[in-house]
Structure 1
Amino acid sequence: MSALILKMTGRDRQLLVLLATGSLIVMTGGVIAPIFPEIVTDLDLSPALAGYLVSSHFLTVAIFSPILGILADRLGQVRILVVSLVFYALFGMAGGLMQSFLPMLITRGLVGAASGGIAAASLGLLVKMYDSSEERSQAIAYVSSVLTVSNIIYPVLAGLVGGFHWRLVFCLYGLALPLGLLVVLTLQPKKGLETSSSESSVKANNSDQLIQALKNPFILQIFLTLCLTAATAYAVIIYLPLYLKATMNSTTVLNGIVLASQALGATAISAFGVRRLVQRFGLISTIGCGFGCMALPLMIIPQLQDLVLLFPTTIIFGVGLGIVVPSLYNLLSNLAPSEYQSSILAAGTGANFLGQFLCPSLFGLVLSDQGLIGVFYVAASLPLMLGLLMLVNFRGEILNEPRSRSVPKG
C-alpha cells in the first residue's frame, strides 16, 4: 500500500483528498438517519417535527452552495474549502451537545451550510484539475461513485458507533478537521488550482458576466434537470421500501439490500462506463440513454411480483442514475466560463439538493391522489420528459463536442 501511495502523482493525491472531502456531503444526513429513533425518544420529540432534523440540511445546502460558490471563485476554492471543513466539524459535533429540538435544528442547518461550501469548493477545484472534457467526465464519475458508496458506508458506521450512545455519532463530523489539514498540505495555490488576487479582482468587477451566464437557457435547463433528477432518485429511496412492504411484506434487511443494489449499479457505471459512453456516443446522447435506463425500471417495478427480477431492475435504475448525474455536471462544466465554474457548478449542486428537499412534497401529492403505483409511473415520466427535452434542445449544439468551453447564446 505504501509503495502504491509513493507511485501516485501529485494530481492523484489531490484527487483522493477531494473525493474524501466530497464524501462528507453524504455524511451530513447519512449518520443521523440510523440514530433518529433514539434522538426522538431521548429528547421526547414529535416524530413528525423531528423529521426536519434529517432533512433540513438539504435546504441550507441548496441555499448556500451557490453563495459559497461565488465566494470560492472570488476568494479562492482552497480557502473556502478549509473554512467550510472547520465549520462543518464544529457545527456537526456541537449537535451532539444539544438538549432540545430547536438548538439541534439550528446546528443541522449550519452543518448543511458548511456542506454547501465543501460541495462548491471541492467540485470547483476538481474541474480545474483537468483540461479535457473526457478527463473531467471521469473525475466527476469518480465523485458520483464515492458519494454512492458513502451512502452505504456512513450509515453503517453511524449504526456501529450509535450502538454505544447516539450522541457519540456526532463525533464523526470531526473527521473534517484532519481532512482540512490534508487540503492545506496537498492543494496549494501554487499548483494552479487557485486564482491570483489580481484575477479575483477582475472577477469581482465582472459580476454581470456571471449573471449573464446564469441566465443562459441551456444552463437553466440543466439546473431544472438536476433538480427533478434528484427528486426522482430520492423518491425511489423513500417510496420503494414502502411499496415492497405493502406488496411483498419485505423486511428492513431486504429493503436495504434492494437500495444497495441500486447504489451498486450507479457506482459501477460511474467508475467504469460513463467515460467510454461519452467517447463513443457524445455527451447528449449518453445523457438521453441514462434517462431511458432510469425510466424503464420505474415502469416495470409496479408489475413485479418476483424478488428475483427486482434486483436487476433496481440495478438498471442505478446504472441510469450513474450515467445521468456525472454527465450533467460535465455538461455544466463545459457550459460554464472557466472563471465562474465554481459558482455555476455550486448552483447546480444547490439545484440537486433542492430537488431532494422538495421530493416529499412533490411526490406526496401524487401519493395521496394516485397511491404508491402512481408514484412510480409519475417518477418514470419525469426522466422520459427530461431526456426528450435534452435531446431536442441540445441536439446539434456545440455542447455535444467534448472539448467545447463556450457558452452558446440563448
Structure 2
Amino acid sequence: MINLYHQNIPLIILIVNMFIAQLGVGLVIPVLPKYMQLFNASGAVLGYLVSAMGLTLFLFSPLAGELSDRYGRKIVIIFGLCMFCLSQYLFGAAEALWVLYLSRLIGGIGIAFTSPAITAYVADITTEAERGKGMSWLSAAMALGIVIGPGIGGFLAEYDLRLPFYFAAAASGLAMIASVLILPESLSLEKKLAARQQQNAHSRNIFRHFSLSLTTPYLSLLLLSFILAFALVKVEVVFGLYLDVKYGYTPQKIAILYTVGALAGVMIQALLMDRLLRRFGEKIIIQISLIFSTVSLLLLLVPDTFLGQLAICIFFFSFTAMLRPAFTTLLSKLAGSEQGLASGLSNAYTSLAIILGPPVAGLLFDIHNNLPYICGAIIMMASLAIPLKEEPLNQSLPTPAIQSDAQN
C-alpha cells in the first residue's frame, strides 16, 4: 500500500491540483460564446484562441518536463499554477482582444508546466505495482474537472460573464499556495544533479526534443499518443454538431450524453483501473480498449433514439477512459529517470494532434457528417499495429519515497 503520511498526502494535493487545472478549462466552455460577443469576435477568433493555448502547450511541454527532471517537480508545478492563475485573471479582466490571446498563450504555458510535472511526481512516489492506481486517480481528476466545469461555469455566468474566469484564477491561486506550503519535493538532490549532468550537454528546443524522442525506448507510446489524440479530437470537435444536424438534439440533450458518458469514464478510472491493470497489464488493457473504442465509435452512427445514443456513449467513454491511465502507467515504467521529459514529450505529441485534428474534422464533416467518426475508427484500429515495448530506460531508480531535501 502507498504510505499514508509520506505519499498519500502529496498524491491528494496533486490530484486536487490537476482537478483544479482541468476545472478551470471546463468551466469557461459554456461562457466563451457569449463572452466573445463583448469583443465583437467571430467564431474564427474563438478557434484561434483555442489554437493559441495548444501552440504554447506544444512548444513548452518537453522543456517543462525536462526542467522538472533537472530542478525538481515542486518548483515547476508551482510555476505552472502561477501561470494558469495569471492566464485566467487576464482573460476575465481583458478589455481588448489581444489580451485574450496573451491570456491563452500564458495558459498553455501553465498547463505545459503543470501536467508533465504532476504526472512525473506520481511516478516518483509510487512503486510500479502502485503506479496504475496513482495514474488512474490522476486521470479521473482530470476528467471530473472537465465534466463538472461547464456546469459550474454556467451557474457563475448567471451572475457575471467574467466571474467564471476569476473563480478559476482564485482556485488555481489557492492550489499554488497549498503546493508551496505543503507539497514536498519528490526528487533528491542527487537525482536532480544527475539529470542536469546528463541533459546539459546540448541546448534543447522543441525541434531537438522531437529529434531526440525518435531514439527513446518509448517512441511507440509517443506515436500512439499522437494517433489516438488525432482520432479522438476529430470526434469530440463534431460531437455536438453531428447530433444537432442528424437528430436535431438540443444543447441540453447533448450535454446529458456527454456528461453521463464522461462520468462513467471517471468511475472506471477511479474504481476499476487499478485492479484491471494489476490483472491484465498495461499492454493488454490498451489493446482491448482500442478494439472496443473503435467498435463503439462506429456504433455511435447507428442508433436513432436518445436512449440508444446514451448507451453507446457510456460504452465509448468507458473504454476510451481506460486508455489514458494504462498509457501513462506504461510510459512511466519505460521512462526510467526521464519521467518529466517523457511526460512533456507525450503532452507535446498530444497537443500537436489537438492543433491539427479540428481543421481535419471540419473538412471531413463538410464532406459527409459520418466521416469524422469513420476516419477516427480507422485510425484507432490501425494504431493496434504499433508495437508496445516493455523494457524500461534504466533500472537505476531506488524505491520511491518523498525526499527530505525538499529545499534543494
| Residue matched to 1:289 | 288
- 1:255-404 counterparts in 2 under 5 A? 255-338=254-337, 340-369=338-367, 371-386=368-383, 388-390=384-386, 393-394=387-388, 397-399=389-391
| Residue matched to 1:240 | 239
Match 1:80 to one of 72, 76, 79: 76
Local SS of the residue matching 2:242: helix
Q: Does 1:89 align with 2:85?
A: yes
Query: Post-superposition shift, 1:240?
Result: 2.1
Query: Post-superposition shift, 1:325?
Result: 1.2
Local SS of the residue matching 1:51: helix
| Residue matched to 2:157 | 162
Maintained 8 Å contact 1:28/1:57: no
Local SS of the residue matching 1:34: coil
The 2-side partners of 1:305 and 1:238 are apart by: 20
Residues 363-391 of structure 1: CA deviation (Å, up to 9, x unaligned)? 2232233x1111111111121111x224x
| Residue matched to 1:203 | 195
Maintained 8 Å contact 1:28/1:112: no
Q: Does 1:122 align with 2:118?
A: yes
Point out where structure 1 has 5 or more consecutive residues left out of the alignment.
1-6
TM-score (norm 1): 0.87
Local SS of the residue matching 2:300: helix
The 2-side partners of 1:34 and 1:122 are apart by: 27
Query: Post-superposition shift, 1:135?
Result: 1.1
Query: Post-superposition shift, 1:398?
Result: 4.0
Match 2:55 to one of 50, 59, 65: 59
Query: Post-superposition shift, 1:47?
Result: 2.3
Letter in 2 for 1:350: A
Number of residue pairs matched by the alignment: 385
* Cα distance change on mapping 1:213 and 1:265 into 2, 3 Å: farther
The 2-side partners of 1:362 and 1:69 are apart by: 29
| Residue matched to 2:44 | 48
Letter in 1 for 2:187: E
The 2-side partners of 1:308 and 1:221 are apart by: 38
Query: Post-superposition shift, 1:8?
Result: 5.6
Query: Post-superposition shift, 1:237?
Result: 2.4
* Cα distance change on mapping 1:37 and 1:365 into 2, 3 Å: closer
Maintained 8 Å contact 2:147/2:263: no
Say which is worse superposed, 237-246 or 106-115, in terms of deviation. Answer: 237-246
Letter in 2 for 1:145: A
Point out where structure 2 has 5 or more consecutive residues left out of the alignment.
396-408
Maintained 8 Å contact 2:62/2:348: yes
Calculate the aligned-residue CA RMSD, in Å.
2.3
Residues 138-166 of structure 1: CA deviation (Å, up to 9, x unaligned)? 11111111111111221211111111111
Query: Post-superposition shift, 1:44?
Result: 1.3
* Cα distance change on mapping 1:255 and 1:40 into 2, 3 Å: same
* Cα distance change on mapping 1:318 and 1:25 into 2, 3 Å: same
Maintained 8 Å contact 2:25/2:146: no
Query: Post-superposition shift, 1:10?
Result: 4.0
| Residue matched to 1:3 | none
Match 2:134 to one of 107, 126, 139: 139
Letter in 2 for 1:326: P
TM-score (norm 2): 0.88
Query: Post-superposition shift, 1:225?
Result: 1.2
Query: Post-superposition shift, 1:341?
Result: 0.6
Query: Post-superposition shift, 1:233?
Result: 2.7
Local SS of the residue matching 1:176: helix
Query: Hey, which bits of structure 1, 4+ residues long, moved more than 3 A?
Result: 7-10, 208-213, 404-407
Larger fraction in helix? 1
Residues 74-98 of structure 1: CA deviation (Å, up to 9, x unaligned)? 1111011112222221232122221
Maintained 8 Å contact 1:78/1:194: no
* Cα distance change on mapping 1:138 and 1:405 into 2, 3 Å: farther
The 1-side partners of 2:67 and 2:266 are apart by: 31
Query: Post-superposition shift, 1:217?
Result: 5.8
Query: Post-superposition shift, 1:213?
Result: 6.9
**Larger RCO, structure (CA 8 Å, separation 6 or more):** 2
Match 2:12 to one of 6, 16, 19: 16
* Cα distance change on mapping 1:226 and 1:112 into 2, 3 Å: same
Q: Does 1:106 align with 2:102?
A: yes
Letter in 2 for 1:70: E
The 1-side partners of 2:22 and 2:360 are apart by: 22
| Residue matched to 1:194 | 187
Identical columns (%): 20
Maintained 8 Å contact 2:291/2:381: yes
Maintained 8 Å contact 2:116/2:340: yes
Letter in 2 for 1:158: G
